[in-house]
Amino acid sequence: MRTPVVCAVVAVAVLIGTGTAVATSLTVTSKKLGAAQVTAPAMFPTTITIANGVGGVAGQAENGDIITFVFSQQIDETTLCSGWSNSLSTQSVQEGWAILPGSGGADDTLEVNNPASTCANGFNIGTVDLGSAGYNTGSSNIRFTSTTAALVVGPSTSTLTVTLSGIKGSGGTVSAGSPAVWTPDSSLKDRSGRTCGNNLAQSTATVQF
């Protein structure tokens, strides 16, 4: 239901030179107006970086390349890996990661494809859209079978550093792409039980590895 509101504005101009005063009016038909404070995200991914390892080829995924994920909160470590506990602020696991080729021209993705046995419910970091289809130009996954994932839980944030290792297969070299976008897993939570919802993080770099 709309309520018309009429605002009358009277402007009086005194023209000294002519000795004339003129009153003019402005009629405004108002519209609806509303405002509210909405809930700001509290648990979300803040940063992802995918760096080339020492001596590596820029733009090509290889052993030694490092992916860093940062969360805005202290995570509930058990939701990332069920075998972990919040009693420790540092954790480490060796597991399999892979670059999956994008189908139909879609971007390649990076994810855990073989979690360690200590993470019985999977390693729930989520997936990374790498911003290009050129990192895996084949039809099968490029696997990194002995990748190390190390977690550090700080006073207010959590950082996971992944170092690729044990490559099986070979990929292409990308010279121009788009930022990588990290979509956290919906089962991962902070210590207040909050998930990342639909919040995302993207890299500043447009060429990864």
Partner 1 sequence: MRRRVIVALLAVTSLAIPSLAAARGVTVTSKHTTGGFAAVSSCGSLAGIGVAWLSTANAVTSVTLSSIPAGCVGGILSITLASSSNTSLGSVAATSVTATSQTLSVSGSPTATSVAKVFVAVSGP
Q: Which residues form the interface with partner 1 (CB under 8 A)?
A: 1-8, 10, 12, 14, 16, 19-25, 27, 30-41, 44-47, 70, 72, 156-157, 179, 181, 197-204
Contacts of 204 (CB under 8 A, 6+ apart): 49, 179
CA distances from residue 98 to 6, 25, 81, 138, 165 in whole angstroms, order as listed: 64, 70, 18, 13, 10
Least distance from partner 1 to the Cβ atom of residue 54, Å? 22
By C-beta, is 144 or 182 nearer to partner 1? Answer: 182
By C-beta, is 72 or 91 nearer to partner 1? Answer: 72
Least distance from partner 1 to the Cβ atom of residue 118, Å? 29
By C-beta, is 21 or 54 nearer to partner 1? Answer: 21
CA distances from residue 107 to 36, 91, 102, 194 in whole angstroms, order as listed: 38, 31, 5, 29
Least distance from partner 1 to the Cβ atom of residue 117, Å? 33
Measured CA to CA, the distance from residue 4 to residue 13 in angstroms comes to 28
Least distance from partner 1 to the Cβ atom of residue 101, Å? 25
By C-beta, is 68 or 137 nearer to partner 1? Answer: 68
DSSP type of residue 134: -
DSSP helix/strand/coil, 43:
coil
